[in-house]
Structure 1
Amino acid sequence: MSASNEIDDFASLLRRYRLAAGLSQEELAEKAGLSSDAVAALERGRRRAPRPLTVRLLATALNLSDTDFAVFTESLRRSPTVYAPQVQGPPLPSDTMIGRASELAELSSLLSHGGVRLVTLTGLGGVGKTRLAVAVANEVRPQFEAGICWAPLAARPDGPEVTDAVAAAVGLRPASDAGAEVDALAEHIGSRQLLVVLDNCEHVVETCAWLCTVLLQRCPRLTILATSRELLRAPGEVVRQVQPLAVPPSRAEPEEIREADAVRMFLARAAAHGVHPRDDRLLQVSRVCRSVHGIPLAIELAAARVNVLTIEQIADELDSSSRILSGGSRTAPLRQQTIDAALDWSYQLLSAEEREFFEAVSTFSGGWTLTAAVTVFCTEQTDACHERVLDLTGRLIDKSLILVDRDAAEARYSMFSVIRQYADRRLDDGGRRTIIEQRHLRYYVELAERAERAVGTDQQAATLDHLDLELDNLRVALGRAISRELGAESMRMAAALWRYFYLRGHYSEGRDWLESALRIAQAGPDPVAPAALAGASRGAGYLAFLQCEYDVAAERLEQALALYRRLDDAAGAALTLRHLGSIARERADYDAALQLHVESLHLYQQLGDKSGIAWARHYLGFVSWLRMDLDGARDYSQAALTHFQQAGDGEGITWSQLNLGAVALYAGDFTTAERLLHQSLGRAQRLGYREGVGWSLNQLGVVARRQGRLERAIHLLDESLAEHQELGDRWRSASVLEALASVAQDHENTAYAAFLLGAAAAVRDTIGAPAPLCERPDNEHTIKAVRDALGERAFAHAWGAGQATPLHAVADGYPPDTLSTLDTPW
């Protein structure tokens, strides 16, 4: 023990007389008829008021002369009756604590006035538990009249040494055994009002729990504050999870970024290296802080790299690996000099089974459920294994290695990325990566296929939300299947997910996955089931259609149709015919579109597929209002709506309301149109169905323009354009540009109207699709009015500027410098 006490005269004399007599403590105890612990306690000053009989027995055993005996007893009378220990206080902080104001206030109140006697600060390594404990101890010092005692336990490998550390903190020296030490501790603390801080308990958690229980039972005014990566689970324990520092949102303004605690820490540590990032670098600082989730140790280590890397380089490195998080303070404990060292400390405390589970769940990305963990970890999914996984999950949560989110009906688990990367590397060390990732892939293939069956039912909204949660895992699983050229798994999964990617507006991503899967299947040695090949071709073709790549889309869909017909799969053929009809519709080949949708309808009728029949009628209604057959459109759409409402098909209801709203719009019934289109917009927003949102906004903008509400029309059409442009739907983007041109002309901003018309024409030329028949009268009227107002030369100039401007720039409100009247379009 490192601590030392001022030893009183009696203790000094006893030791001097014993040594002069040539006796050990045990021999003196035996001669005096006392316990060796009693002799040790007297010599070390822990026992201050021995009974007169004890003094006489010692004097006799030591064979003291009358003179020595008189000195001996006189020294006892001079000894202080109240012992003022030299306690070990908390370490002095080397810098100002950043953030934590609310935690500090709560913990101070809890320890001072809350009636709580044992508080454990828990959290992952490097999150700042010790630093917060120091601040709390200093804050509450006036409330504890006997003082604050700080017991660092990081270097204590076993139980007896933990007890020694606490003894040293309260001003005692170790006894000969742990039991006597605890008795001495309890006797020494007694009824004094004292706060003991046990720092870094996780590796001796059982000893700490036992010691806290004993001392709190025997010392009525003792309070204990512990820091530990694992809960003590002692009686009366109140746990507070120390969270990482707050990070700014991804699109925060510079002021908001600077105010975030994580950023403040990074800037302070970077300044210590002489680096002071300007405001234009704050976004990169924010990236760094979000990459490390605001973990203080990781921020410190990242900031230490500013002497050799730019902040952007640090952020880029952290996107893929946490290996650069090293090079901490030389004076810090080894476990705090790198992130890996911090995690090594936690990893070494795990049992063999806990390590295996920790490594296995690192294969997940974006979190997981208990069921998913059972599938990935267990060879067989039995009740016994489910119990094991539940227990292991709880243990790793207690050890601050797994996070749990209980906000939804089903708990979801995750890891901070630095921990996940560490566990993933350990998975390599264990040689179990292949089998674990195979199980992960199998689980998510099956999940995707179950989800595909639920889309289009009353479970669609919940299914899409669940796929949103699992999107990172789905992407990882697909990526693994494709990188390993697993044709069957790639095909099954990509084909099962294409409708999800469509409904959520991830057209490019879904199409990329499908095309990669098709490429592997066609090049691979193993044959792929024709049904899977047809499904993937159909999905890829439809997503290409949504991005207005009509030739590519038609080629893929024709391939799918041929496969379905060869398989005698009428349902697959009917759906593919529907998609081919959509291509014809956007190319304004309405006769071909109607013929294809009618053929699709007949197949569905032969199958007795009520949902398919409703969708065929919807598309017949869609084509009908585009070609201004309003009566036919109304009949088809109303029939489809009736079925969709009965089936609870949210996507179908949205489209039927859109169709009926458009019929009312072109019939001049703006009140009905606005009501129906607001309903479709609200439903599409609730479903997260982006195409439905874009279309509803588009049609509402046209309604507002025809009502003369130009400002509202601008707002609605701008939002619609942004939505369609992000989706990649150039056909609809062109229509929205033309509608905006009509509004600009109504606003008497004729040059800008001509610019928009030119931009729309360029889009239509690129995709090879004219304006829908129902929209042409408005467009022709606008073009004539703008040309008449500007004159041919100015009109050609503005039109040409629009044609030369990329769609994304137009959508961002780009005004060409050469047209001074366009500097403020509205």
Structure 2
Amino acid sequence: MKFGVLGPVLVDGVEVAAPRQRALLAMLVLDAGRIVGHDQLIGGLYARPPAGAANALQSQVSRLRRAVAGVVVEHHPAGYRLVAEPSEVDHLRCAELLRAGRAAEALGLWRGPALADVDAPFAQVARQHLAELLISCAVSGGTEELLRDLVAQHPLREDVRAALMRSLQREGRQSEALEVFARGRALLADELGVDPSPVLAAAHLEVLRARAPHRGVPAQLTSFVGREDDLRRVAKWLRESRLVTLIGPGGTGKTRLAVEVAHREAGEVAFVDLSATTDVVRALLDGIGVREAGLLAAGPVGAEERLRAALAVREVVLVVDNCEHVVDEAARVLGGVLTSCPDVRVLATSREPLGITGETLSPVTALDPDAATRLFLDRAQAVRPGFRADPGLVAEVCRRLDGIALAIELAAARVRTLPLAEITARLDDRFRLLSRGSRTAAPRHRTLHAVVEWSWELLTDAERDLAARFTVFCGGATLHAVTTVCESDVDTLTSLADKSLVEVVDDRYRMLDTIRAFCASHAPDLAAAHARWFLQRAQEAEPHLRAHEQIQWLARLAADHDNLVAAVAWATAHDLDLALELVAALATYYWCRGLRTEAAQQADAVLRACGETPPPGREQAYTLCLLIAWPAATGDQSARIRQADALLATFDSPPRYPIMTLMWGMALGAPADDSQVWHRRTRLLNDEPWSAALTLVGDGLVARMEGDPDTGRDLLRRGAAAFTEVGDRWGAALAFNQLGEIALADGDPANALAHVERARGLLAELGATEDTAEAVAGRAQARLAAGDPDGARTDFLASLDLARRAGAPSAQAGAHLGLAELARVTGDHATARAECDRAWELCPGGWYGPDQMRCHIALQRGRIAKDEGDPVSARRHYEEALRRAAGQRDRVTETVVRAELAALPAP
């Protein structure tokens, strides 16, 4: 939920109607996450507390809970606490943004005077504290209008007055800024008898210095969007360092950022564009306004000496743009200037560092999604006033354009003639789509193709070759992968990084999709080498995924997830042996990450390409693909299970990947009493520790489903301990979840909660969002059984959100089924029926245990009908649940359903 006090008091954008409850909520929000004492709350609510004030406070809290659905106010012996994260509370978020240097965003959270609709004893002091927060935000990033209002309200606040002066100075209104200073100085003298403080005096000096010339700094025709943090950071570094270089790929906005920094500099600035020249010295002389004729009168002297002589006695910022094509010469000349001219500072832009001692590098990377969207909308509305679009679609366009500012501006310009959906559809051919830019721009900035081609032409032959080969990777790669698959050397790769053709993020190298699309047209076919490399990596990782180092190896494979998917797709089309081995080697990874739907779809595609018979020598990999893929099959799913079972019957030793036995058990369910399947499955488990732990947990699951919870509990506890010792968090989580269900059936919700919470923590470590969603739903069930419906609702909704983000319909169905039970026990039968219907719609057509899910939905429908006094419908639903439970050989659920049927009146 979202809570707001920076304006009228709001919860998720809605006002609280009752004044007393509104005031109570405001006090809790101001101390969100902390316990607010009874006396503090009573004193804050009542000028004259009534008799029985504690009971009155309790009554107000109860009314607040009823009035605001979903709000969680906990009672403690010392008082009450609003359960909310800092990010959900506007004044805490405001303070966090301010600390992060994002004052403009912080100010955006203000909707008017703080606590505007609260009339209670506490409000006056609270408004004063919040006013200080507003002032701090305004001083760091407020508009002129806001600063003028604050100066009027606080005429003796020198920090606010100084901020207003700087704001006016940045707009080129030095005279007005000096008037603001003069009025402040007079007020200080008249009211307090003091001179301006150093804060106000420093602002005065900045305004006076701002009258120095800004030579050649281009005036901008569009607003500056999306790099406010970069602007502040670069300005700060330029004050602290004498050379700052903005580096990054073409089109990211280096020049525009440099221009904005230049406009805000208080002293003399000279802007020099090197893109159209190879004579760096001559361009610098022209940029600082030194005319050659006047200098020659003093006698013959070299151009560099003239440049250094002209700058030796000046305090100036040189903004030197587009150094990349003359980088060696620019570095030599600027290095000489910095050495001999102590008051000169340089802000350079380049696609690679200048390499001068003392250089501070400031990468200009892709715009973040919010800034990119704002830039697109700003430029689109400029060419098509009134333009409106789905923010999600705009964000998708910006994402596919890598957040490159120039690409976004070029795409936004096309909304004048093309619908946004058409622009999105044409992005696969982005260089053709974005082929029209400003006629006034430099040729290399008129089209997206020209921007990338400019960088390409500056590369050496070896660098071009590696850039082309690098495009085989999806989502980046490690140094080892690049040098091996591309058969390249480290120096060439780091040179590409220096020249902004690839980025280095967390020891991985990646290429923006826009650059990749250009370079791919020059690439040789390395897909086979790429797929073989990632097969080796998957095979190397697999045993570590069942051990203590599980988290680290999962993270390594997750970082290469896009490469793994691409390798499987290529192999499926070109090398079926390789495809089968890849899917098999990745089975443990997909299972532990909770990516089973994606794995099933990949395995299904490989099987369809292979046909009905495994290739010779690939029987194990083929069988594992059958077990992975059967839920995604569009035909007879049971046929695939029978085929897998028949193939497994031919194996006389444990499989290469032990996960196969687990998946066999999940596919077959609990064995029938007279079945030989269980014995074959046991034979295929070897005696290594992970398989031994799996045997304990598997036997425990079967014992529980066969109606022997005591044996099941003992085996599962031993299995959980064994998996914990091995280091497999997923196996341990499976055991703890089952122990939680047994405790819940025993009427011990506290113990159930402890087990399920332990499972949830382990799954969260794995990043298994779908499994975590199911664990959170289990926690909700325990809370409901413990008499905490509010906590249960919070967890069911959290589970639903996790399941949606994971794209997991089965987990979503489970969350809706939980909400149905919650609605039923609270008497809301209409909502309970609707939630059951939604769960049924989401229950997948084929997945591990879909019949079990439908069984529980039918059971819940029967209970709803029984509570509504409809025994006929209840019996029909119970009989369906019984049929499904028997089909699953789930004796636990079967016993529960039979008891429900026995309790109904005879038909």
Q: Distance in 2 between matches of 1:783 and 1:414?
A: 55
Whether the 8 Å contact between 1:163 and 1:178 is mirrored in structure 2 is: no
Query: Which of the two has higher C-alpha Rg?
Result: 1
Q: Provide closer, same or farther for how the CA distance between residues 721 and 334 of structure 1 changes in structure 2, counting only shifts above 3 A.
A: closer
The aligned amino acid for 1:422 is F
One of 563, 574, 579 as aligned partner of 1:490: 579
Give the match for residue 328 of structure 2: 206
SS at match of 2:349: strand
SS at match of 2:365: coil
| 1:343 Cα deviation from its structure 2 partner | 1.1
| 1:184 Cα deviation from its structure 2 partner | 2.5
Q: Distance in 2 between matches of 1:87 and 1:737?
A: 64
Q: Distance in 1 between matches of 2:232 and 2:571?
A: 51
SS at match of 1:230: coil
One of 592, 596, 605 as aligned partner of 2:677: 596
Q: Provide closer, same or farther for how the CA distance between residues 316 and 195 of structure 1 changes in structure 2, counting only shifts above 3 A.
A: same
Give the match for residue 9 of structure 1: none
Q: Aligned pair 1:397/2:487, yes or no?
A: no
| 1:726 Cα deviation from its structure 2 partner | 8.0
The aligned amino acid for 1:152 is D
One of 242, 247, 253 as aligned partner of 1:128: 253
Q: Distance in 1 between matches of 2:798 and 2:790?
A: 13
Deviates more, 1:202-211 or 1:623-632: 623-632
Q: Provide closer, same or farther for how the CA distance between residues 150 and 780 of structure 1 changes in structure 2, counting only shifts above 3 A.
A: closer
| 1:109 Cα deviation from its structure 2 partner | 4.3
Equivalence map 1:184-333=2 (5 Å): 184-248=306-370, 260=371, 262-278=372-388, 280-318=389-427, 321-333=430-442
The aligned amino acid for 1:395 is S
Whether the 8 Å contact between 2:862 and 2:876 is mirrored in structure 1 is: no
Q: Distance in 2 between matches of 1:765 and 1:478?
A: 25
The aligned amino acid for 2:706 is R
Residues 287-320 of structure 1, C-alpha deviations (whole Å, 9 max, x = no match): 2222223322111211121122111222232256
| 1:211 Cα deviation from its structure 2 partner | 0.8
Residues 358-413 of structure 1, C-alpha deviations (whole Å, 9 max, x = no match): 111121111111011111221xxxxxx6xx32x2222122212211113xxxx111
| 1:568 Cα deviation from its structure 2 partner | 3.1
One of 475, 487, 493 as aligned partner of 1:366: 475
| 1:543 Cα deviation from its structure 2 partner | 4.6
Give the match for residue 538 of structure 1: 624
Q: Distance in 2 between matches of 1:764 and 1:150?
A: 64
Q: Provide closer, same or farther for how the CA distance between residues 539 and 186 of structure 1 changes in structure 2, counting only shifts above 3 A.
A: same
SS at match of 1:426: coil
Whether the 8 Å contact between 1:721 and 1:733 is mirrored in structure 2 is: yes
One of 276, 283, 286 as aligned partner of 1:155: 276
Q: Aligned pair 1:618/2:700, yes or no?
A: no
Q: Distance in 2 between matches of 1:737 and 1:670?
A: 21
SS at match of 1:591: coil
Q: Distance in 1 between matches of 2:662 and 2:213?
A: 86
Give the match for residue 766 of structure 2: 687
Residues 501-547 of structure 1, C-alpha deviations (whole Å, 9 max, x = no match): 233333332122112222333499xx8343x34323333324535x7
Q: Aligned pair 1:376/2:492, yes or no?
A: no
Deviates more, 1:343-352 or 1:689-698: 689-698
| 1:339 Cα deviation from its structure 2 partner | 1.2
| 1:715 Cα deviation from its structure 2 partner | 3.8
The aligned amino acid for 2:435 is S
SS at match of 2:477: coil
Q: Provide closer, same or farther for how the CA distance between residues 779 and 735 of structure 1 changes in structure 2, counting only shifts above 3 A.
A: farther
The aligned amino acid for 1:352 is D
Residues 595-650 of structure 1, C-alpha deviations (whole Å, 9 max, x = no match): 6335423443xx43342232122122112223331112022212322321221121
Give the match for residue 156 of structure 2: none
Deviates more, 1:551-560 or 1:778-787: 778-787
| 1:690 Cα deviation from its structure 2 partner | 4.3
Q: Aligned pair 1:475/2:593, yes or no?
A: no
The aligned amino acid for 2:565 is R
Q: Distance in 2 between matches of 1:455 and 1:678?
A: 22
Residues 112-166 of structure 1, C-alpha deviations (whole Å, 9 max, x = no match): x43x3322222211122222222322322x423xxx333221111x3xx222222
Q: Provide closer, same or farther for how the CA distance between residues 368 and 706 of structure 1 changes in structure 2, counting only shifts above 3 A.
A: same
The aligned amino acid for 1:507 is R
Equivalence map 1:424-435=2 (5 Å): 424-427=520-523, 432=524, 434=525
Q: Provide closer, same or farther for how the CA distance between residues 668 and 225 of structure 1 changes in structure 2, counting only shifts above 3 A.
A: closer
Q: Distance in 1 between matches of 2:644 and 2:522?
A: 44
Q: Aligned pair 1:675/2:794, yes or no?
A: no
Whether the 8 Å contact between 2:249 and 2:351 is mirrored in structure 1 is: yes
Give the match for residue 609 of structure 1: 688
Q: Aligned pair 1:459/2:549, yes or no?
A: yes
Residues 564-600 of structure 1, C-alpha deviations (whole Å, 9 max, x = no match): 44453344799766545434537xx65368x633542
Q: Provide closer, same or farther for how the CA distance between residues 770 and 304 of structure 1 changes in structure 2, counting only shifts above 3 A.
A: closer
| 1:731 Cα deviation from its structure 2 partner | 7.7
* Count of aligned pairs between the two proteins: 663
SS at match of 1:363: coil
**Unaligned segments of structure 1, at least 5 residues:** 1-84, 249-259, 379-384, 803-826
Q: Distance in 1 between matches of 2:470 and 2:639?
A: 42
Q: Distance in 2 between matches of 1:698 and 1:110?
A: 49
| 1:480 Cα deviation from its structure 2 partner | 1.7
Q: Distance in 2 between matches of 1:123 and 1:155?
A: 19
Whether the 8 Å contact between 2:840 and 2:854 is mirrored in structure 1 is: no
SS at match of 2:669: helix
Q: Provide closer, same or farther for how the CA distance between residues 706 and 189 of structure 1 changes in structure 2, counting only shifts above 3 A.
A: closer
Q: Provide closer, same or farther for how the CA distance between residues 122 and 732 of structure 1 changes in structure 2, counting only shifts above 3 A.
A: closer
Q: Provide closer, same or farther for how the CA distance between residues 469 and 320 of structure 1 changes in structure 2, counting only shifts above 3 A.
A: farther
One of 745, 754, 763 as aligned partner of 1:666: 745
| 1:653 Cα deviation from its structure 2 partner | 1.1
The aligned amino acid for 1:682 is G
Give the match for residue 711 of structure 1: 790
Q: Provide closer, same or farther for how the CA distance between residues 301 and 612 of structure 1 changes in structure 2, counting only shifts above 3 A.
A: same
Q: Distance in 2 between matches of 1:764 and 1:395?
A: 52
Q: Distance in 1 between matches of 2:844 and 2:733?
A: 30
**Unaligned segments of structure 2, at least 5 residues:** 1-211, 882-907
Q: Aligned pair 1:560/2:644, yes or no?
A: yes
| 1:674 Cα deviation from its structure 2 partner | 1.6
Residues 193-226 of structure 1, C-alpha deviations (whole Å, 9 max, x = no match): 3333322111111111111122233333333322
Q: Aligned pair 1:96/2:96, yes or no?
A: no
Whether the 8 Å contact between 1:292 and 1:417 is mirrored in structure 2 is: yes
The aligned amino acid for 1:374 is T
Q: Distance in 2 between matches of 1:786 and 1:89?
A: 80
Q: Provide closer, same or farther for how the CA distance between residues 449 and 192 of structure 1 changes in structure 2, counting only shifts above 3 A.
A: same
One of 722, 742, 748 as aligned partner of 1:643: 722
Equivalence map 1:769-784=2 (5 Å): 783=862
One of 340, 343, 350 as aligned partner of 2:452: 343
Whether the 8 Å contact between 2:607 and 2:625 is mirrored in structure 1 is: no
Give the match for residue 58 of structure 1: none
The aligned amino acid for 1:126 is G
One of 161, 165, 169 as aligned partner of 2:287: 169
Q: Identity, % of aligned pairs?
A: 28
Q: Provide closer, same or farther for how the CA distance between residues 658 and 131 of structure 1 changes in structure 2, counting only shifts above 3 A.
A: closer
Give the match for residue 47 of structure 1: none
TM-score, normalised to structure 2, is 0.66
Q: Distance in 1 between matches of 2:390 and 2:354?
A: 43
Q: Distance in 1 between matches of 2:282 and 2:300?
A: 8
Whether the 8 Å contact between 2:620 and 2:655 is mirrored in structure 1 is: no
Q: Distance in 2 between matches of 1:214 and 1:762?
A: 73
Give the match for residue 828 of structure 2: 749
| 1:353 Cα deviation from its structure 2 partner | 0.6
Give the match for residue 419 of structure 1: 515
SS at match of 1:600: helix
Whether the 8 Å contact between 2:285 and 2:291 is mirrored in structure 1 is: yes
